[in-house]
A = this chain, B = another copy of it.
């Protein structure tokens, strides 16, 4: 990928807001011809700047009313402990996000579940059962003030 100029940034901003835009609209709003828009999007796809296009769904309508932020501390940080924990994270779609952090906790997880019971069940069944997990602190999300996928570009 070459340098990313202003016109490409405009396309990217539009696409991360709505990738179902027709090429004609995209071009118009991006202030360029359809051919140029097409070529730039091709490049962005090929270069992997556009990683993927996904549909964002409404959690409430799909009965996932609960969202939890959990902070996890492992017992030790040996290869095996980390791999074991990673595997739990990978294999459970309820864990939507997981970041290794600096600071007081090793990991931060964002977890979705239908309700407190099923969260509790998932937790005890899969996370707390893992021998390397020393500590989990769960905070319930009271309100989603912002949940954007748009990078600040």
Which listed residue (B1, B54, B95) contacts A56, Cβ 8 A?
Answer: B54
Interface status of A125 (Cβ within 8 A of chain B): no
* Chain A interface size, under 10 / 10 to 19 / 20 to 34 / 35 or more: 35 or more
Interface status of A22 (Cβ within 8 A of chain B): no
Can you list 12 A-B pairs, Cβ within 8 angstroms, ordered by A? A12-B55, A50-B55, A51-B58, A54-B56, A57-B151, A62-B151, A64-B151, A96-B146, A97-B146, A97-B147, A99-B147, A101-B142
- Mask, A134-148, CB within 8 Å of B = 1, is 000111111111111
Interface status of A121 (Cβ within 8 A of chain B): no
- Chain A interface residues toward B at CB < 8 A: 1, 4, 12, 15-20, 47-59, 61-62, 64, 67, 69, 86, 89-90, 92-105, 107-108, 112-113, 137-153
